Structure formats: C-alpha cells, structure tokens
Amino acid sequence: MAGLQTCEKAAEAAEVTAFWQELGLPGLVDVHTHFMPPNVQAKVWAVIEQAWPIAYRQPETDRIALLRAFGVCRFGALAYPHKPGMAAWLNAWQAGFAARTPEALHSATFFPEPGADGYVADAIAAGARLFKAHLQVGGYDPRDELLGPVWGLLAEARVPVVVHCGSGPAPGAYTGPGPISAVLARHPRLVTIIAHLGSPEYAEFLDLAQVYPGVHLDTTMAFTDVFEWLAPFPAALRPRLAGLADRILLGSDFPNIPYPYAHQLQALARLDLGSAWLRGVCHDNAARLLGL
C-alpha cells in the first residue's frame, strides 16, 4: 500500500510539474494555502469534513514535501482567528513556520480587538508579506472601528491581505461586496486579494477590481467541478478575466480540497484564455505583487 501511495504521489507531482514546465515557468506561486498550529488545523478539518473529504489530510511535513514535489516555489501559509485573543498567537506560530519553511511566505492575520493595530504593526516589522482576513469564519464587520488602524497600516505598508469576503460557500453576516467596498473607499491604496474570485458575487468583485488598482482576485477553487456545481462562474464574465490578466493570482486552498491539486490547474487551462494568461496567473502576477 505504501509503495502504491508513493507511486501515486510521484505521478501527481509529475503531472503538476509538466503543467508549469510547458508554460516555461520556474514553478508555481500559490497565494492561498493553509498551514496552522496542529490543534487549530484539526478543528478546521473537522468543520470542512462536514462538507467534503479532504484530499491532503496529512502531517505537516508531508504536505510541505508534496508542495515542493509539485514545484510550488512559494506559497501563502494562511491562518485566521475565529475569536479574540487568537491572532497574535497565530502570528507568532506563522513567523516560526516561515522561518523553518523557506518556500512559505511569512503570513499573518488579525481580528477586531483592542491592540490589533499593535500586533499587526509588529508582524509587518518582522517581515510579514501576506495577511489573511476571513469575514465568514470570523463573523466580523470589516468596517469595525477597531480595524480602521489595521487597514491603514496595511495600506501604508502595501502589504497584501487575502480577504474571504464573498458569500460562498455559505453567506455570513458581513460577506458580500458591500462591507469590504466601504473599507476600500476609506483606504483606496489597500492591496487586497479577494479569495475564491469573490464567489458567488463574481461580477461585483470584478467591478471592484476595475475601480481600485490594488484589488486582485485569487482563483481558489474557482472553475473546479465543485465550484461549477455550487456557484458556476458565468461564461459571459470570462472576457473580464482576460481584461484583468495581471491581477488574477493562483490560489488552491491546499490541503483543504476534495480533489487533486492538478484539478485546479486543469480548470484554469480549460478556460482557454491562453498561455500568457496562465503564466501570469500561476506565477508572474504574484511574483511581481509580492516582490519575489
């Protein structure tokens, strides 16, 4: 059985590697993967497994080795709090993870609570290059006055923040384009990466990207068979993806996905937007945005 699993992993790694090599890339940059302290990871998996099986439910070292085998040369190691008092602790863990994992982008997070601006400033000073805000899981309003200084710090430092603000897969009290639009109106220089292409409010979040040059969107789970069933991307919007070619970034949600990693790449390729578009999405756009 172990030998079979090794062969399957090798075949999968070869498939992913062939994808980016055929595009002439040095590897993939995936801005949306998740690495968390083991106890937090276990709780997150328990919630996700109520919806679908997790394809890469493996020890941390195995998951890192697999991304390396895939040729993911840099990845966002995202974590997020669901209550006060977690974010600073998560940030400390994420800093340690990045220090021992060269491919991991030093990531951080926050929550609307007293002192949030302080630990966000500390994380930026310590070298954090990517933040995560999860409005659905956190259940908070991004317009909360406690977050005003946080958004201001991120905008000033030009450090991108991956924001899960779309209403998929299930709406939250503060998901949808309205709340985050108000934040961008106050902080127009804020660099955001809208997770999951803003599913299911695809058109509205593409509109935001047209208005604000700092708004990007990641592909996480978009166009896969799962999302095309849950919230299909309208074919009429595909030309807008081409028009925003420099602001679409590869995201996968690894390891929390119910299908092989290669399926996300295949889903992007079958959009038939061309090899230049794929090169930008799978590597060049994120490399430029994050100064890699």
Can you spell out the DSSP letters for 181-215?
Answer: HHHHHH-TT--EEEGGGGTT-HHHHHHHHHH-TTE
The reply to whether 237 falls in a domain is: yes
- Across 261-287, average pLDDT: 98
Is 64 a domain residue?
A: yes
Q: What is the mean pLDDT of residues 130-159?
A: 97
Instruction: Indicate the SS3 state at residue 177.
Output: helix
Q: Is 11 a domain residue? A: no
pLDDT of 290 above 60: yes
Residue 5 confidence (pLDDT): 66
State the CATH number of the domain containing residue 192: 3.20.20.140
Q: Which two tokens stand for residue 203?
A: 């058109």
Nearest CA among 215, 234, 237 for reference residue 165: 215
As for how many domains the chain has, the answer is 1
Residues 6+ apart with CB under 8 A from 93: 36, 37, 79
**Structural domain contains residue 8:** no
Question: Quick check: is 256 in a domain?
Answer: yes
Q: Is residue 5 part of a domain?
A: no
Question: In whole angstroms, how far apart are CA 56 and each of 60, 67, 84, 254, 261?
Answer: 10, 11, 29, 7, 9
Q: Which domain holds residue 119?
A: 26-289
Judge whether 154 lies within some domain.
yes
Return the residue matching tokens 């090899």: 275
pLDDT number for residue 2: 42
Q: Average of pLDDT values for 267-288? A: 98
Q: What's the pLDDT band for 1 if we cut at 50, 70, 90?
A: very low
**Position 159 pLDDT exceeds 70:** yes
Which alpha helices (H) appear in the chain, and where do they start and end? Answer: 2-22, 38-48, 60-70, 87-100, 116-125, 135-138, 148-157, 177-186, 202-211, 225-230, 238-243, 261-269, 275-279, 285-289
Residue 270 lies in a domain: yes
pTM for the whole structure: 0.96
